[in-house]
Chains A and B, each alone.
Chain A
Amino acid sequence: MITEKKSIFRPFTALKYLFRRPHTFCFPFEQKPTADRYRGLHLNDREACTGCGNCADICPNQAIAMVEQPDVAPCPGKKNELPQVDYGRCCFCGLCVDICPPGSLSLARDYIHIAPSPESFLAYVPATEASGGEAFVTPPDYSIMKASLSHRLADNAGFVSEMDYSLVDFERVPMEVVPPEDRRNSFVEIVKGFSEEQARREASRCLDCGLCEDACPANMGIADYVRAIWEGDNAAAVRVFYEKNPLPSICGRVCTHKCEEACGIGRRGQPVAIRWLKRYAADSVPPERLGEILARGPAETAQKKVAIVGAGPAGLSCAYYLALAGHSATIFEALPKPGGVMRYGIPEYRLPYDALDKDIGHIQSLGVEIRCSTRVGRDVTLDGLHADFDAVFLATGFHVGRSTRVEGTDHPHVFQALDLLREITRGGDVMVGRKIVVIGGGDVAMDIARSMARLQATRYGTIHTTCCCLESEDIIPASREEIDEAREEGITVCPARGPQRVEIDAGRIRGLHTVECTSVFDEHGRFDPKLNPENKQFFEADMIVEAIGQAPDLSYVPESLDEKLAKEGRRIQVSEDLQTSLPWLFVGGDLIEGPDVIHAIANGHAAARGIASFLESKS
């Protein structure tokens, strides 16, 4: 740098700045546009917020507290809590925005903020009655003099969550499955399960918010066991399973996973694969180590005798927790092996028998007696059970198929899905048509369609199975993966078809006539199918299977007893503990909740608690 002699007029060159527009401050005042990503005060989309509290957990300054909203009712996947920010602590880093799974939280684009009342400032709940519906308003003529009086606009989000830059991992660890060409002609289990590395990686996605736990009917400690799996402590995970659910190997495969539907990550991405994680941890512990890991033998108390009718999930779960409480449970099962619909309804490719035997074996190891091939109502009577036992729990489930009752369904080659599935498990001689039509679109319909397709492939080498249901593609009741896998295996799924008539020629089934179904439910959500008779379709078939729903069979309850039972409609009325109007009789499982495995397990647990307290009060 040179310090030469300068002209006396040099300072005047600075005059040019008089004509240059200043950048920082202009007069007259102009409002400076805020950048799109500006990080101002928080905004929260109340509808989208799940109340999961991850924002409060990540905040490095503990500026966020979750505040209960008494006027909001919690529901699966949404807590009745909202974040409240203490701006004395907030440093505006925006980590809360980057961890928000549903992306409801954002930072506002306003430079200056004043909230009209302390309440709206802290909880930033827009549109309260006190504020006249408008908690966030700007004065119409914004000026720097009035800036301190301006309020935030509710829809003026600046720094918002972006999925690619979110701290939440929205993508699942992919699950390996047996390819369609290999599984088409065998009942081998389709889902291969996680390796340890995959399971720990998947478990590491969980944010521990516990939305899933509130949604789980059995209220399992999901966050705890997922954390245990992430830490590599599968034994600890198994201990958490058995606190609420004695059938983890089964649930790890066929649970209807309400938890995953509630998972906050599922709002924008793929929910944590909670079901597969449970399967991984349950499978990682060999049956002979279960007793040692759980270290919970039956309690040494005065034993009372409880009879349980039905060895399905509700009966087994009830027996397990009764055994833990020190009571002697005896299960009466009509079929040759325990498991109920889990064994005789769910095909082996979804739930292998080993998994069933492992879970049931552990329950038996606690001294639970299972009397198979003993049908109540035929081999023993309910009155007899009442006489011999201190309490009775009915958990006989739904195992009678419903019929469409359209013309021709009385033909001997029209079958009920549950009957066929039972026979397949028992290894009986099942009729396999060359062309099969399944009526129904639920999980049972997929189970029977895929089972029959496998039998067709082994017997004839080709698959010709069609599945038609009333519901349109977007509301088919079966789970999406079932439908996709069925199609991969070569099954035709035809939604929105209403069955009209089975065509029978010379005593042989020729096929099924269907018409288009335009809507299934009326505006009140009641079942009321609307058909369009113009749009006809005929499906060729020599065998038809009905899978449109199941019903209970309570014919074993003697009339004298049935008269004394209080009912709610057609359902037996029960208390919270599943006790009926007859104190010694408890009813649970599908009979109360409708068909669902995890509800049944939760029911069994609740019944065990109810029975235990009933027995205590009796003694």
Chain B
Amino acid sequence: MRELELYFGPQHVGMVGNFGIVLTVEGDTVVRARSNPGYLHRGFEKLMEYRTYMQNFPLVCRLNVMDPDPEEMVYAMAVEELAGLTVPPRAHYIRTIVLEMSRINSHLFWLWGFGNLLGFDTIGQWAMGDRDYFLDCFEMLCGGRVYHTYIWPGGVRRDLPDGFQDKLRAALDNLERMLPDYDEVFFNNRIFADRTRGIASFTREEAVSMGLTGANLRATGARVDVRREEPYAAYADLDFEVPTMDAGDSYSRAVVIRREIDQSISIIRQALEKMPAGPAWKKTPNPFKWRVRPGEAYAKIESARGEDGMYLVSDGSDKPRRAFVRGPSYPAAILMLEKLLEGASLSDVGHIMLSLNIAAPEVDR
């Protein structure tokens, strides 16, 4: 049969952003797939070398539109380690809440795309609608709905506004009320299971060898989570589970993500309960005269997509000498995706890609 070359993205409604896949197909079967990143390349890492430590903070959130707060967090943690800053306890709790809100946001956004690509419109609309309650919370907290620029070196940018906790609890209540319906129409739906079970599966060894983390790795049975192994923020004080599945297929990954939403809700509720009083920010030095002592730091956290890392090198000046971002989407989008698509059905390309929960800017740093 004749081979055809198809461009899936970057101009494609099912695409995860400015990213593309070059598919070689034979009939309905994919013979080869080549990931085609670079459409979003803004040179984040290089830009960071030309901005002061404070000026970099509004930049890093752009590394992931769907889940910007972990990027801010991991940058703040790296700077704090380099500069030897201490963060007040209240800021740790606020950061934890914000990170989990971001995780829920990201998962709901993912659910919209994933549902749509499998032909489920309703779940997508619901997920985006319920996400809006959290966007309102973000707007109240920091003035921005999508890019929050809220977690910065030394703590957070403002304390919780009056009435925030009630608003956030209302958003959580709403989501908890909706989740059974989510399960009803989607996660417990036979069509969903039939479309995803056994599709795009890989073993734990393959995942580890390619550097996959997050839900992609946990879906192969590995109970790996940075929040558990090297707790940051207030995670050490909070009680939560790390959901896993064993099959390592598209279905398992989706179910792990669904269960993580439950855990995030529980974490936020605990953090709101235990929130200590006190300042939410330790003033950092004058941004025009802030020279960070020479050294290097690697900070890592668990974002919605897996282990998110930031490596910073300081030469004692007011700007980082080198910045490197470890985006969890990188190995998934470049290495694993190409492998999984080989031999896949053309109709599964979109949902395989989304089952890996790829964010394009994390690839194009």
Given contacts A1-B255, A167-B286, contact A93 B58 (CB under 8 A): yes
Minimal beta-carbon separation of B63 from chain A (angstroms): 14
Tell yes or no: A342 within 8 A of B by CB.
no
13 contacts between A and B (CB under 8 A): A24-B129, A36-B140, A38-B143, A39-B142, A58-B288, A60-B59, A91-B147, A93-B57, A94-B143, A95-B57, A164-B281, A169-B285, A169-B286
Could you mark each residue 1-41 of chain A with 1 if its beta carbon is under 8 Å from any beta carbon of chain B, else 0?
11110000010011000000011100000000011111100
> Is A165 in contact with B285, judged by CB distance below 8 angstroms?
no
Could you mark each residue 82-96 of chain A with 1 if its beta carbon is under 8 Å from any beta carbon of chain B, else 0?
000000000111110
Given contacts A159-B143, A204-B289, contact A169 B161 (CB under 8 A): no
Given contacts A1-B183, A22-B129, A23-B129, contact A38 B58 (CB under 8 A): no
The docked-state distance in angstroms from the alpha carbon of A60 to that of B61 is 13
Our pick among B58, B189, B283 for the contact of A95 (Cβ within 8 Å) is B58
> Is B287 in contact with A167, judged by CB distance below 8 angstroms?
yes
Interface of chain B, helix or strand or loop or mixed? Answer: helix
* Residues of A participating in the B interface, judged by any CB pair closer than 8 Å: 1-4, 10, 13-14, 22-24, 34-39, 54, 57-58, 60, 91-95, 98-99, 107, 158-159, 162, 164-165, 167-169, 203-208, 227, 230
The docked-state distance in angstroms from the alpha carbon of A34 to that of B287 is 30
> Is A1 in contact with B188, judged by CB distance below 8 angstroms?
yes
Tell yes or no: B326 within 8 A of A by CB.
no
> Is B143 in contact with A10, judged by CB distance below 8 angstroms?
no
> Is B287 in contact with A99, judged by CB distance below 8 angstroms?
yes
> Is B129 in contact with A230, judged by CB distance below 8 angstroms?
no
Our pick among B190, B281, B286 for the contact of A3 (Cβ within 8 Å) is B190
Tell yes or no: B359 within 8 A of A by CB.
no
The docked-state distance in angstroms from the alpha carbon of A13 to that of B122 is 13
Q: Which residues of B contact A14 (CB under 8 A)?
A: 122, 181, 185
> Is A60 in contact with B58, judged by CB distance below 8 angstroms?
yes
Q: What are the nearest 9 A-B pairs in CB distance? A: A93-B58, A39-B143, A60-B55, A37-B143, A35-B139, A35-B140, A159-B143, A204-B289, A93-B149
Which of A10, A107, A164: most chain B CB closer than 10 A?
A164
Tell yes or no: B157 within 8 A of A by CB.
yes
Q: Which residues of B contact A3 (CB under 8 A)?
A: 188-190, 193
Interface of chain A, helix or strand or loop or mixed? Answer: loop
Our pick among A23, A165, A208 for the contact of B288 (Cβ within 8 Å) is A208
Could you mark each residue 246-263 of chain B with 1 if its beta carbon is under 8 Å from any beta carbon of chain A, else 0?
000000000100100000
The docked-state distance in angstroms from the alpha carbon of A596 to that of B159 is 46
> Is A92 in contact with B279, judged by CB distance below 8 angstroms?
no
Could you mark each residue 285-296 of chain B with 1 if its beta carbon is under 8 Å from any beta carbon of chain A, else 0?
111110000000
Q: Which residues of A contact B144 (CB under 8 A)?
A: 39, 92
Which of A91, A93, A107, A205: most chain B CB closer than 10 A?
A93
Give residues of chain B (181-233) contacting chain A, Cβ–Cβ below 8 Å.
181, 183-185, 187-190, 193
Tell yes or no: B96 within 8 A of A by CB.
no
Tell yes or no: B284 within 8 A of A by CB.
yes
The docked-state distance in angstroms from the alpha carbon of A91 to that of B157 is 17
The docked-state distance in angstroms from the alpha carbon of A4 to that of B140 is 42
The docked-state distance in angstroms from the alpha carbon of A442 to that of B184 is 83
Minimal beta-carbon separation of B319 from chain A (angstroms): 11
The docked-state distance in angstroms from the alpha carbon of A157 to that of B340 is 51
Q: Which residues of B contact A206 (CB under 8 A)?
A: 286, 289
Tell yes or no: B348 within 8 A of A by CB.
no
Our pick among B59, B143, B147, B287 for the contact of A107 (Cβ within 8 Å) is B143
The docked-state distance in angstroms from the alpha carbon of A94 to that of B158 is 12
Our pick among A23, A94, A162, A165 for the contact of B132 (Cβ within 8 Å) is A23
Q: Which residue of B lies closest to A171 (CB)?
A: B283
> Is A167 in contact with B54, judged by CB distance below 8 angstroms?
yes
> Is A158 in contact with B143, judged by CB distance below 8 angstroms?
yes
Q: Which residue of B lies closest to A34 (CB)?
A: B139
The docked-state distance in angstroms from the alpha carbon of A503 to that of B190 is 109
Tell yes or no: B56 within 8 A of A by CB.
yes
Which of B55, B136, B144: most chain A CB closer than 10 A?
B144
Q: Which residues of A contact B74 (CB under 8 A)?
A: none
